[in-house]
Amino acid sequence: MPRVLIVGAGFAGAVYARTLAEAGIEVDMIDRRPHIAGNAFDHIDENGLRVHAYGPHLFHTNNKKVVDWVMQYGPWETYEHRVEAQLSDGRNVPLPINRNTINAVFHESFETQEQIEAFLAKIAIPCAEPRNAAEYLYSRLGRDLTDLFFRPYTKKMWTFDLEDMDASVVQRIPIRYDLEDRYFPNDQYQVLPRNGYTAFFETLLDHPNIRIQLSTAFSHDLEKSYLHVFNSMPIDEYFGFDLGELPYRSIRFHHHTVTSWREGLCPTLNYTDDRKFTRETSWHLLPHHIARDCEVRTVTVEEPCDYRDNNNERFYPVKTADNRFGPLYQAYQAKGDALGHVSFIGRCGTYQYLDMHQVINQSLMGVQAWLAAYQGKA
């Protein structure tokens, strides 16, 4: 029976592993971390709360194929995420920006979409073809809202100003003229695994053709034992950084036990000021995240940083307005394509900022294409 190696036990690797295993291929999976589920890993902490170790993971998509696929491996339930942003005076307002946000910031009392549209049109700075995130936001929101909600946050998150960031970084954030306060209102499917992501991965990877070794780093010596390697490690690291390093942003997660806490519908609170933290998550406000009720709660605060300052934990590929890092990735991609026996997968392997549903969809297409080619040669 053919054997393949999968490097990384996150969403990309798990999709490949399960699909290949069901096709009769033996899969060896390794991960340098001591757990499965990649960045989606969650656990019950000492306060009885389910905590996502690498920040909140909210599953949302319009892709029914992806939803049908994940539903095979455990119970999921509807959850519609909401976020607030904290203003300098301590008030919390809806984010993304909606009518209530604009009324609060400008001390207005607009009641209709037409009033909001007219107001934004008056304060916007027109730009037919935005070249960066600043120009895009100015053309939609004007200077005041952009500089309040996006400029400090972007600088903390990426270390770049909005003028340096690609417009695509902010184009995914909607602007609303009504009272809609859900973070992903345009996504038909918004769900969370009822028993947590780790339990979902345990079911997903429970197959006789899948063997898992954790706390195991990748070594090139491993490759000679396998028909093919599906590798989700950073592509530049695979090649020993011989062309240079691709930049990533990372996050330090500060978990605090609190004796008083926020209530309501918004687990996530963004900080709009220039402090070094970007947001906090109150885990008890997510469904099925209270495993046992204690008299305290867990709140996690996020601090962006360079990945080299955080044990080489890479979370977000850096995308600038001038695409200055694109050619370096493309050079690595060409080296990877020339190998033949290795496929690079997932966010770090393909140097893309991908949500969970996008990783799953990309991986389903990739593994099915590889299987078709392999079976055609057999």
Confidence of residue 225 (pLDDT cuts 50, 70, 90): very high
d(CA 70, CA 56): 18
The separation between CA 211 and the C-alpha centre of its own chain, rounded to angstroms, equals: 26
Is position 252 within any domain?
Answer: no
pLDDT digits (tens, 9 = 90+) for 231-243: 999 999 999 999 9
Percent of the chain surpassing pLDDT 90: 93
Closest CA to 173 of 66, 63, 94, 65: 94
Is position 74 within any domain?
Answer: no
- Tell me, what's the pLDDT at 229? 98
Q: What is the DSSP string of 220-234?
A: GGGGGGSSEEEE-S-
Q: Where do we find the tokens 């294409």?
A: 369
- Tell me, what's the pLDDT at 171? 84
Q: Which of 129, 147, 171 is the last residue of a domain?
A: 171
* Shared-domain flag, residues 93 and 165: yes
How many domains is the chain built from?
A: 2
* Shared-domain flag, residues 227 and 139: no
* Shared-domain flag, residues 155 and 214: no
User: What are 282's strand-pairing partners?
Assistant: 299
How many distinct helices (H) and strands (E) make up the chain? 12, 17
R_g of the chain, CA atoms, integer Å: 22
CB 292 within 8 A of CB 48: yes
* Shared-domain flag, residues 232 and 330: yes
Is position 213 within any domain?
Answer: yes
Q: Which domain holds residue 11?
A: 3-36+205-246+318-377
Is position 299 within any domain?
Answer: no
pLDDT digits (tens, 9 = 90+) for 33-57: 999 999 999 999 999 999 999 999 9
Confidence of residue 377 (pLDDT cuts 50, 70, 90): confident
Name the residue with higher pLDDT: 293 or 237.
237
pLDDT digits (tens, 9 = 90+) for 2-20: 999 999 999 999 999 999 9
pLDDT of residue 172 exceeding 80 = no
* Shared-domain flag, residues 18 and 108: no
Closest CA to 173 of 231, 133, 213: 133
* Shared-domain flag, residues 18 and 150: no
d(CA 226, CA 229): 7
Q: Which of 124, 154, 171 is the last residue of a domain?
A: 171
Is position 112 within any domain?
Answer: yes
* Shared-domain flag, residues 100 and 167: yes
Confidence of residue 1 (pLDDT cuts 50, 70, 90): confident
Taking the CA of residue 354 as centre, how many other CA atoms within 13 Å lie in the half-sphere pointing to its CB?
21
Confidence of residue 378 (pLDDT cuts 50, 70, 90): low
Q: 219 phi and psi, to 5 degrees?
A: -135, 140
d(CA 367, CA 365): 6
* Shared-domain flag, residues 219 and 163: no
- CATH code at 16? 3.40.50.720
Closest CA to 15 of 343, 377, 375, 374: 343
Q: What is the dihedral of CA 145, 147, 153, 154, to 10 degrees?
A: 110
d(CA 40, CA 85): 24
- Cα–Cα separations (whole angstroms), residue 136 to 132, 278, 338: 6, 22, 38
* Shared-domain flag, residues 214 and 362: yes
pLDDT digits (tens, 9 = 90+) for 197-213: 999 999 999 999 999 99
Is position 270 within any domain?
Answer: no
Confidence of residue 175 (pLDDT cuts 50, 70, 90): confident
Q: 273 phi and psi, to 5 degrees?
A: -85, -170
Percent of the chain surpassing pLDDT 70: 100
User: What are 76's strand-pairing partners?
Assistant: 193
- Tell me, what's the pLDDT at 174? 81
pLDDT of residue 220 exceeding 80 = yes
SS3 of residue 135 by DSSP:
helix
pLDDT digits (tens, 9 = 90+) for 111-128: 999 999 999 999 999 998
pLDDT digits (tens, 9 = 90+) for 330-369: 999 999 999 999 999 999 999 998 999 999 999 999 999 9
pLDDT digits (tens, 9 = 90+) for 18-35: 999 999 999 999 999 999
